Amino acid sequence: MISFGVIGASIRGGSLRLLEAMTVPADSRATVLTALKEACGFAELTPVFTCNRVEFYYIAQEGPAGNVYRNRLLDFFLRGREKVEFGPADIYAYSAFRAVKHLYRVSASLDSMVVGEAQILGQVKDALVEARTLNLIGPRLEAIFAEAFRVAKKIRRETPLGEHAVSMATLVSTAVDEHLAKWGAATVAIVGVGPMAGKLADHLRTQDGVKIVFINRTVAKAQTLAEQYSGRALSLDQFLAQPPDVDILFSSTSSADPLFDQEKIDRIRWERNALSPLLLIDLAIPRDIDPAVGKSPNVILRDIPYFQTIADSNRRARFLAVDQAEQIVELEIARAHRENAERQFRPVFASTLSEALAFARTGLDKLFATRLDHLSADDRAAIGYWVEKLVRYTNQLPVGALAEQADTSRGDCSMIAGYGCMQTRPMPEVQTDDPVANRCAQKQGRACILDGHVDESAACGTESQSE
């Protein structure tokens, strides 16, 4: 477990520029991700790209130093991009069980902009399939992701979290409905052919008087949607050259550069020649619409930060379900700790089990040859069966006990993968806001240190990364 980690950025961090810089367009992922894997020294890699996050889950070749891999990844993506501004809080790097917990929470939609949405689990599954197709992963990441999917389904099954969710599709549809209610029937241009295009089209065809224009670089893909939803299809070049009269523009593509700058939007507005404002909805990362366009008169721009604000206002209603889901995550992480500890301790006891079984069998053979020589073969077999069962059971008890102890004290310098303490000067007086760190310092006479300095903000361990 010590080699597993995640490096990521999300819309919560506040730096959309960093999020854009770390996003890899679909048509270049095979080349870029293979180069990233080599540049960072990853043995296995699974990137997850969604509309509000970019994450790279990895198995490392050189040990648990997550900050080293974070810096390598940043160097890879930011080389030649001096204008990308961000702070330490805009990117996160977790290792070992903290990374496992993060993956569990992401898959279960506990870390989503819209908490409880079902779409994120499908996106993570699709990311794993893509990584498999690109030959980026191996059995270790496969096993970790399989556990994350199991936990996510358990949360969906045993809590009402999904009942309280408001999906991104719902938020977008609501924005469109509000515009239609105020300004009447409209023509809607949908740029891109991703899942959100179909979801929005499904909603729009229930609205009276709404016409849909599907736009894509490859017009054949747009034509498929146009036939399905009784719309019109245009290539992106056609649309930009002669934009039709549209009232709402929705865009969500994987373009590395903005598709619509001020000049292109002005051309659309000129062709419209309408009194109603032009509604622009941009769900792309990197952005499809230049943010400066939103300052233009008679234009309404709704992007991911806007929808995040709306989603946050609905978050309180889901607190109870989130609490139940978080409890399941904690129980599953505790179970993972115990199982991992057992895997480490079991080989230590394997040789003692062999010796104990050999000793018991030798003793039984002597008894059967002397004091118990009157027993039948069936009686001897029954006694031998239960003696061996007892030896195996008692040999297993220390493994379970040690694993349980490793779980309950995993923050207290426990000898478990991904965690540990480094000896430094006695500091029993150390007081922090973290009770785990306090127990480590006071009980062991040690201080938790990270990269050569005292870490007073996180659980004891060389694996802790700042959140």
Average pLDDT over residues 367-380: 90
Give the total number of structural domains in the chain: 3
Give the count of beta carbons closer than 10 Å to the beta carbon of residue 419: 27
Average pLDDT over residues 224-253: 91
CA 36, distance to chain mean position in Å, is 18
Please indicate, yes or no, whether residues 218 and 331 belong to a single structural domain of this protein. Answer: no
Is residue 319 within 8 A of residue 335, CB to CB? The reply is: no
Among 369, 385, 408, residue at a domain's last position: 408
For residue 426, being part of any structural domain is answered with no
Rounded to 5 degrees, φ, ψ at 460 are -60, 130
Active-site positions read 51
More confident residue, 327 or 89: 327
Please indicate, yes or no, whether residues 115 and 187 belong to a single structural domain of this protein. Answer: no
For residue 189, being part of any structural domain is answered with yes
Among 393, 408, 423, residue at a domain's last position: 408
For residue 224, what pLDDT is reported? 92
For residue 454, what pLDDT is reported? 36
DSSP 3-state assignment of 3?
Answer: coil
pLDDT at residue 25 tops 50: yes
More confident residue, 60 or 447: 60
pLDDT at residue 51 tops 50: yes
Of the pLDDT bands very low, low, confident and very high (cuts 50, 70, 90), residue 67 is confident
For residue 61, being part of any structural domain is answered with yes
For residue 456, being part of any structural domain is answered with no
Is residue 67 within 8 A of residue 452, CB to CB? The reply is: no
Average pLDDT over residues 296-320: 78
Q: Residue 200 maps to which CATH number?
A: 3.40.50.720
Please indicate, yes or no, whether residues 211 and 127 belong to a single structural domain of this protein. Answer: no
Is residue 420 within 8 A of residue 461, CB to CB? The reply is: yes
Q: Output the pTM of the full model.
A: 0.59
For residue 42, what pLDDT is reported? 92
For residue 65, what pLDDT is reported? 60
Please indicate, yes or no, whether residues 122 and 54 belong to a single structural domain of this protein. Answer: yes
HSE-up of residue 17 (Cα within 13 Å, Cβ side)? 8
For residue 406, what pLDDT is reported? 52
For residue 390, being part of any structural domain is answered with yes
Q: What is the pLDDT of residues 183-227, one digit of tens each?
A: 888 899 999 998 889 889 988 988 888 999 999 999 999 999 999
DSSP 3-state assignment of 239?
Answer: helix
pLDDT at residue 461 tops 50: no
Quick check: bond before 286 cis, omega within 30? yes
The length of the chain is: 467
Q: Residue 117 maps to which CATH number?
A: 3.30.460.30
* H or E, element range at 232: strand 232-235
Please indicate, yes or no, whether residues 325 and 296 belong to a single structural domain of this protein. Answer: no
For residue 343, being part of any structural domain is answered with yes
Average pLDDT over residues 372-380: 90
More confident residue, 168 or 219: 219
For residue 106, what pLDDT is reported? 93
Write the burial class of residue 296 (CB in 10 Å: 0-12 exposed, 13-18 middle, 19+ buried).
middle
Please indicate, yes or no, whether residues 296 and 325 belong to a single structural domain of this protein. Answer: no
Give the domain range for residue 284. 168-310
More confident residue, 276 or 457: 276
For residue 442, what pLDDT is reported? 41
Instruction: Look at the block and give the residue holding tokens 């089209």.
Output: 201
* Closest C-alpha to 100, from 55, 145, 45, 47: 145
HSE-up of residue 42 (Cα within 13 Å, Cβ side)? 30
For residue 39, what pLDDT is reported? 92
State what percent of residues in the chain have pLDDT above 70: 77
Please indicate, yes or no, whether residues 204 and 334 belong to a single structural domain of this protein. Answer: no
Burial 320-355 (b: 16+ CB within 10 A, else e): ebbeebbebbeebbeebbbebbbebbeeebeeebee
For residue 297, being part of any structural domain is answered with yes
Average pLDDT over residues 284-291: 89
Please indicate, yes or no, whether residues 27 and 143 belong to a single structural domain of this protein. Answer: yes
For residue 448, being part of any structural domain is answered with no
For residue 79, what pLDDT is reported? 85
Distance CA 110, CA 321 (A): 10
pLDDT at residue 314 tops 70: no
Of the pLDDT bands very low, low, confident and very high (cuts 50, 70, 90), residue 117 is confident
Among 242, 276, 310, residue at a domain's last position: 310
Q: How far is CA 23 from CA 17, 18, 73, 253, 334, in A?
A: 10, 9, 12, 12, 33
